[in-house]
C-alpha cells in the first residue's frame, strides 16, 4: 500500500516505466520545500514580470509591444497590419499571439480604455464599455504608434534607461521607457498578481503635469488643489467626496463613486444614457434593469434598448406616461451599475519591490527616477562632446605643420605604421591619430582645419554647461518642468469626467421617491427568521410556519417605513428598515437575519425592537443580577450606519431586554426561586451603550438571574410581599400560593 500523505508532505511520481506491473516510485517532498522551490518563483515572476506596473506606468507586456512598434518605425510613419506587429513582438514577449493582440487592443484608440491612447488604430477594436462587442482579428486591423508615444522614446537612444537581454538573449530591450511625464498617473492600469493586485485610475494629463510642476517647485504643495479628481475615458460624473479622495491621495487605497450621464427627451418621453462608469458595461446595465423590471421593482419603464452606433454609446429607456425621469434615475443609480464605485489600489513596482503609495509618493518616486534619467541623458551627451573635443584637439596639433603630417604618412612604408608614427610625431593618442589619418585629401587645407579647430572653445563651454547640469539638481528639475509644460501644451485635453460636488449630489438624492407606507405585521423567531406580512395576507393565511425546533420570539404591528434594530449575542446591533424586506406569507420561513444583514460568523439574534422616533429607553438585564437603562437616542446615528459595536455590556450574558416608553413595575426571578418586584423609575438612564448597569438582585455564587417580566404579565397574586424598598436586594422565595398558577388535579 502507498504511504498515506500528510498535510506536511506532498508526493511526487518519478517517470520510470511501469515494468512487470510495478507501481511508479513515489517520493515524498515537504510541502514547505514545494512552496519554496515551485510556488514562490512562480509568484515572484507574476508579481515582478507580468501583473504589476512599474514607475513608467507600464507592465512588461505593454513595454515590449510599444518598443517593438518603435523599432518597426511606426512612430510618425504609416500603419501596418496588426498581425505583423504581433509577430514582431514575439521576439520580446514569449506569449501567444492572442495575448499580445489583446494587449494592443487595450492600448488602442478604437477600444477607448485610456485617456490618451498609445496606439493609433484602424478597424474594429471593440469598445471598453461593451462586454459583448468583439474586436476583429489582427489580420484585418491596422495600427501605428500615437503621437504622444514620442514622449516615451525621446531619450531611448541616449542611455537614459538600462537595456537588458530578451528572453533568448538574441536582442536588447529597455527595462523601462523614459517617459517625460508621469504616465503612471495618466494611463489607467489594472493587474492581478499572486497574493496582491494593482488598480490605478487615470488622471487628467493637464492636471497631472500641473501637479508635478507644483511639487517640483514646492515639495509641500497641496496636491488636491491642482489634481482635482480622477478622470476616465468613458466620462460620467464623479461624486466628489473630499475625505475619500484625500485618503486615496495619501495612502493609495480607497474608493469613490462614478455615475452615468443622461438626458431626458421630453418630446418622445424617453431617457438617453450616453456616458457610463468606467467599471461597468452597457450589457451589465441592461441586464440589471431587466432584472428589476421582472421583479416588479421598477414599473415606470416601458422598454430599454442599446442604440450605440458610430457616434458613440447610447442606451435608451422608454418611459410610461406620467413617469418622473428624475425619480426613476435616482432609483436606478442606487439599484444598478449606472452608479458604481472605483476601488483604488496604487500598487507599483519600485526597484523590483511592490509598494502601495499615495499620489504624492508616486510623484516623488517618478521625479527621482526622471531626474536620474535626465542626468544620464545629459552625461551621455557630454561624453559625446568630450569625444569630439578630444578629436579636434588632435586635429589642432597638426595645424602647426600640415606638411610634416603629410610627410610622415608618405614616408611610412607600411600601413600599420602610419598611426604609431603620427602619435610619435605630434604627441597625440591613437584615437586622435586615426581621426587625422582618415581625413580626406580635399580637407587638409588650412581653411577646413581652422574652421574645425574653432569649434574647440564652443565645445568646451557646452561641456562645462552639461557638467554643471549633471551636478545641479535644481537645473535638472528646471529641465523636467520645461518638458512637462511642453507635454501639457501639446497633448492636454479637457476633463471627460465631470465632478459633482456634495450639495449637487444631495439634490439628486432628495428627488428619490418615498418608500410606500402601509401597515405590516412582523414575526421574529427564536433562531432569527423574520417575516413581514400585510394584514390582508395574514387574515388569509393559516398557521405560522417555523423550522423544527424553532418558534415565535417577538411580534409587532408596524409600518413598512419603520426602522428595526436587531441585537446579537456578540454585543452588536444592526439597523435596517422594513421596506428592505419583501412582503411574505405565514407559510414561509421568512428572511434569515444573520444572512440578510451580513452578520459575523456564528453570530445569533437575541432581541429586536422598533425604535420609532428614538424616544424612550432600553432596559438590559444580565445573569449577574445587574440592569442597565440606556437612552434609546444613543443608538440613533446621523451617518446611516448599519452596524454598531458595543451595543450593550459584555461583562455578563444578556437575559432579556425591554423597550421602555413609560416606566412600569417588573418581576425579576432567579434560579434560586426568589422573586423581586421593583419600579423601573428607580434606575437612572445612561447615555453610554456599553454601561454595566447597577445591581438589582443580589445572588449567591451558584445562582443567576433567570427571567424578567412586566408585573402585569405575570400571575403573581401577592405582589406587595416581593416589592423592594431599595436596590439591590436578594428578593423573597416565591411561595406556591403567590404563583397564581392553577394546580393540575387527577380526575
* pLDDT tier at 29, thresholds 50, 70, 90: confident
Q: Would 364-491 and 613-634+646-747 be classified into the same CATH topology?
A: no
pLDDT at 743 over 70: no
Mean pLDDT of 531-556: 87
What CATH number was assigned to the domain covering residues 52-175? 3.90.199.10
pLDDT at 1 over 70: no
pLDDT of 39 reads: 85
Domain positions in the chain: 9-45, 52-175, 261-337, 364-491, 514-610, 613-634+646-747
Mean pLDDT of 286-291: 94
Mean pLDDT of 621-632: 94
Contacts 24+ apart (CB under 8 A), 325-331: 325/264, 325/271, 326/508, 326/511, 327/511, 327/512, 327/513, 328/271, 328/298, 328/300, 328/301, 329/262, 329/271, 330/508, 330/509, 330/511, 330/512, 330/513, 331/298, 331/512, 331/513
Choose among 664, 662, 684, 682: nearest CA to 729.
682
Mean pLDDT of 553-579: 90
pLDDT at 509 over 60: no
SS3 category, 720: helix
Q: Which residues pair with 256 in a beta bridge?
A: 342
pLDDT at 175 over 60: yes
pLDDT of 641 reads: 67
DSSP string, 689-702: TT---EE-B---TT
- 715-727: burial string, b at 16+ Cβ within 10 Å, e else: ebeeeeebbbeee
pLDDT of 59 reads: 94
CA distances (Å), origin 208, targets 63, 254, 293, 575, 741: 21, 19, 43, 42, 81
* pLDDT tier at 465, thresholds 50, 70, 90: very high
pLDDT of 507 reads: 47
- Name every residue whose Cβ is closer than 8 Å to that of residue 167 and which is 6 or more positions away in sequence: 92, 94
Quote the CA–CA distance of 175 and 54 in Å, as a whole number.
10
- 435 — phi, psi (to 5°)? -65, -45
Strands 237-239 and 498-500: parallel
- Name every residue whose Cβ is closer than 8 Å to that of residue 38 and which is 6 or more positions away in sequence: none
**Backbone CA torsion sign across 560, 562, 567, 572:** positive
pLDDT of 178 reads: 95
pLDDT of 335 reads: 92
- 285 — phi, psi (to 5°)? -65, -45
Cell numbers for 424: 610619435
Mean pLDDT of 38-64: 90
Q: What's the mean pLDDT when you consider all of the chain?
A: 88
pLDDT at 464 over 70: yes
Cell numbers for 361: 509618493
**Backbone CA torsion sign across 572, 576, 581, 587:** positive
* pLDDT tier at 747, thresholds 50, 70, 90: very low
Quote the CA–CA distance of 117 and 124 in Å, as a whole number.
15
DSSP class of 241: -
- Name every residue whose Cβ is closer than 8 Å to that of residue 551 and which is 6 or more positions away in sequence: 525, 526
Strands 732-733 and 674-679: antiparallel
The span from the first CA to the last CA of the chain, in angstroms, equals: 72
**Backbone CA torsion sign across 600, 602, 605, 606:** negative
pLDDT of 103 reads: 95
pLDDT of 511 reads: 44
pLDDT, tens only, 185-231: 999 999 998 889 999 999 999 999 999 999 999 999 999 999 999 99
Choose among 151, 125, 254: nearest CA to 209.
151
- 648 — phi, psi (to 5°)? -155, 175
SS3 category, 507: helix
pLDDT at 502 over 50: yes
Known catalytic residue at 140: yes
Contact (Cβ atoms closer than 8 angstroms) between residue 67 and residue 105 = no
Rounded to the nearest 10°, the torsion over CA 474, 480, 485, 486 is: 140
CA distances (Å), origin 456, targets 129, 401, 449, 542, 735: 60, 19, 12, 107, 120
Mean pLDDT of 68-72: 96
For domain 261-337, the CATH architecture is: 2-Layer Sandwich (3.30)
For domain 364-491, the CATH architecture is: Orthogonal Bundle (1.10)
pLDDT at 18 over 60: no
pLDDT at 58 over 70: yes
* pLDDT tier at 677, thresholds 50, 70, 90: very high
Choose among 515, 518, 593: nearest CA to 554.
593
pLDDT, tens only, 581-597: 888 888 888 999 998 88
Mean pLDDT of 691-704: 92
* pLDDT tier at 22, thresholds 50, 70, 90: low
For residue 599, give the H/E element and its range: none
For domain 613-634+646-747, the CATH architecture is: 6 Propeller (2.120)
What's the length of the chain? 747
Report for 10-19, 370-379, 526-535, 738-747: range of highest mean pLDDT? 370-379
Mean pLDDT of 664-692: 91
Q: Cis before residue 728, ω within 30 degrees of 0? A: yes
Quote the CA–CA distance of 321 and 302 in Å, as a whole number.
9
pLDDT at 332 over 50: yes
pLDDT, tens only, 374-395: 999 999 999 999 998 988 888 7
> Per the residue annotation, which of 42, 67, 70, 140 is the catalytic one?
140
* pLDDT tier at 23, thresholds 50, 70, 90: low
- 378-406: burial string, b at 16+ Cβ within 10 Å, e else: bbebbeebbebbebbbbbbbbeeeeeebe
pLDDT at 355 over 90: yes
Cell numbers for 687: 447615555
DSSP string, 347-396: EEEETTEEEE--HHHHHHHHHHHHHHHHHHHHHHHHHHHHHHHHHHHHHH
Cell numbers for 513: 421617491
Amino acid at each position: 500500500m502507498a504511504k498515506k500523505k500528510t498535510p506536511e508532505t506532498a508526493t511526487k511520481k518519478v517517470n520510470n516505466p511501469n515494468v512487470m506491473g510495478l507501481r511508479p516510485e513515489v517520493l515524498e517532498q515537504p510541502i514547505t520545500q514545494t512552496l519554496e522551490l515551485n510556488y514562490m518563483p512562480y509568484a515572484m515572476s507574476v508579481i515582478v514580470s507580468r501583473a504589476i506596473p512599474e514607475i513608467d506606468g507600464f507592465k512588461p507586456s505593454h513595454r515590449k509591444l510599444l518598443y517593438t512598434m518603435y523599432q518597426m518605425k511606426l512612430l510618425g510613419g504609416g500603419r501596418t497590419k496588426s498581425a505583423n506587429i504581433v509577430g514582431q513582438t514575439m521576439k520580446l514577449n514569449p506569449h501567444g499571439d492572442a495575448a499580445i493582440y489583446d494587449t494592443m487592443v487595450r492600448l488602442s484608440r478604437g477600444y477607448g480604455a485610456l485617456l490618451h491612447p498609445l496606439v493609433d488604430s484602424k478597424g474594429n477594436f471593440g469598445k471598453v464599455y461593451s462586454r459583448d462587442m468583439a474586436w476583429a482579428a489582427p489580420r484585418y486591423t491596422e495600427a501605428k504608434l500615437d503621437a504622444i508615444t514620442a514622449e516615451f522614446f525621446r531619450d531611448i537612444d541616449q542611455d537614459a534607461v538600462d537595456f537588458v537581454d530578451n528572453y533568448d538573449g538574441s536582442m536588447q530591450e529597455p527595462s523601462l521607457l523614459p517617459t517625460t511625464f508621469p504616465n503612471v498617473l495618466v494611463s489607467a492600469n489594472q493587474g492581478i498578481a499572486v497574493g496582491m493586485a494593482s488598480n490605478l485610475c487615470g488622471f487628467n494629463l493637464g492636471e497631472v503635469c500641473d501637479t508635478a510642476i507644483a511639487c517640483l517647485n514646492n515639495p509641500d504643495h497641496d496636491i488636491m488643489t491642482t489634481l482635482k479628481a480622477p478622470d476616465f475615458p468613458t466620462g460620467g460624473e464623479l461624486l466628489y467626496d473630499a475625505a475619500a479622495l484625500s485618503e486615496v491621495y495619501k495612502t493609495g487605497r480607497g474608493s469613490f463613486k462614478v455615475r452615468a450621464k443622461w438626458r431626458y427627451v421630453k418630446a418622445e418621453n424617453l431617457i438617453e444614457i450616453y456616458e457610463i462608469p468606467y467599471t461597468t458595461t452597457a450589457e451589465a446595465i441592461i441586464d440589471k434593469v431587466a432584472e428589476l423590471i421582472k421583479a416588479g421593482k421598477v414599473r415606470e419603464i416601458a422598454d430599454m434598448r442599446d442604440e450605440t452606433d458610430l457616434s458613440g454609446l447610447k442606451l435608451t429607456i422608454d418611459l410610461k406616461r406620467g413617469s418622473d425621469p428624475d425619480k426613476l434615475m435616482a432609483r436606478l443609480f442606487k439599484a444598478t451599475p449606472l452608479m458604481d464605485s472605483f476601488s483604488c489600489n496604487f500598487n507599483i513596482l519600485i526597484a523590483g519591490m511592490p509598494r502601495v503609495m499615495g499620489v504624492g509618493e508616486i510623484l516623488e518616486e517618478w521625479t527621482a527616477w526622471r531626474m536620474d534619467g535626465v542626468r544620464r541623458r545629459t552625461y551621455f551627451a557630454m561624453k559625446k562632446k568630450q569625444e569630439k573635443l578630444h578629436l579636434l584637439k588632435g586635429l589642432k596639433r597638426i595645424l602647426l605643420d600640415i606638411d610634416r603630417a603629410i610627410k610622415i604618412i608618405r614616408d611610412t612604408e607600411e600601413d600599420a605604421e602610419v598611426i604609431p608614427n603620427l602619435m610619435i610625431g605630434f604627441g597625440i593618442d591613437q584615437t586622435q591619430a586615426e581621426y587625422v589619418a582618415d581625413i580626406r585629401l580635399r580637407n587638409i587645407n588650412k581653411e577646413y582645419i581652422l574652421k574645425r579647430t574653432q569649434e574647440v572653445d564652443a565645445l568646451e563651454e557646452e561641456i562645462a554647461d552639461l557638467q554643471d547640469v549633471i551636478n545641479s539638481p535644481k537645473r535638472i528639475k528646471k529641465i523636467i518642468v520645461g518638458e512637462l509644460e511642453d507635454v501639457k501644451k501639446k497633448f492636454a485635453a479637457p476633463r471627460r469626467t465631470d465632478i459633482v460636488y456634495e450639495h449637487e449630489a444631495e439634490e439628486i438624492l432628495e428627488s428619490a421617491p418615498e418608500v410606500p407606507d402601509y401597515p405590516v405585521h412582523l414575526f421574529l423567531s427564536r433562531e432569527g427568521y423574520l417575516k413581514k406580512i400585510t394584514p390582508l395576507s395574514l387574515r388569509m393565511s393559516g398557521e405560522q410556519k417555523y423550522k423544527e425546533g424553532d418558534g415565535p420570539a417577538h411580534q409587532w404591528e408596524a409600518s413598512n417605513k419603520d426602522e428595526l434594530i436587531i441585537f446579537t449575542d456578540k454585543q452588536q446591533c444592526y439597523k435596517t428598515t422594513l421596506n428592505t424586506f419583501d412582503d411574505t406569507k405565514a407559510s414561509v420561513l421568512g428572511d434569515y437575519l444573520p444572512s440578510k444583514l451580513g452578520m459575523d460568523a456564528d453570530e445569533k439574534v437575541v432581541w429586536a425592537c422598533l425604535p420609532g422616533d428614538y424616544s424612550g429607553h432600553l432596559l438590559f438585564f444580565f445573569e449577574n443580577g445587574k440592569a442597565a437603562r440606556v437612552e434609546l437616542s444613543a443608538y440613533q446615528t446621523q451617518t446611516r450606519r448599519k452596524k454598531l459595536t458595543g451595543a450593550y455590556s459584555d461583562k455578563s450574558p444578556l437575559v432579556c431586554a425591554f423597550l421602555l416608553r413609560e416606566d412600569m413595575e417588573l418581576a425579576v426571578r432567579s434560579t434560586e426561586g426568589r422573586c423581586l418586584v421593583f419600579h423601573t423609575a428607580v434606575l437612572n438612564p445612561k447615555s453610554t451603550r456599553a454601561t454595566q448597569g447597577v445591581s438589582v438582585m443580589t445572588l449567591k455564587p451558584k445562582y443567576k438571574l433567570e427571567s424578567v417580566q412586566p408585573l402585569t404579565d405575570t400571575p403573581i397574586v401577592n405582589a406587595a410581599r416581593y416589592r423592594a424598598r431599595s436596590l439591590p436586594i436578594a428578593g423573597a422565595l416565591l411561595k406556591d400560593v403567590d404563583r397564581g398558577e392553577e394546580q393540575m388535579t387527577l380526575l
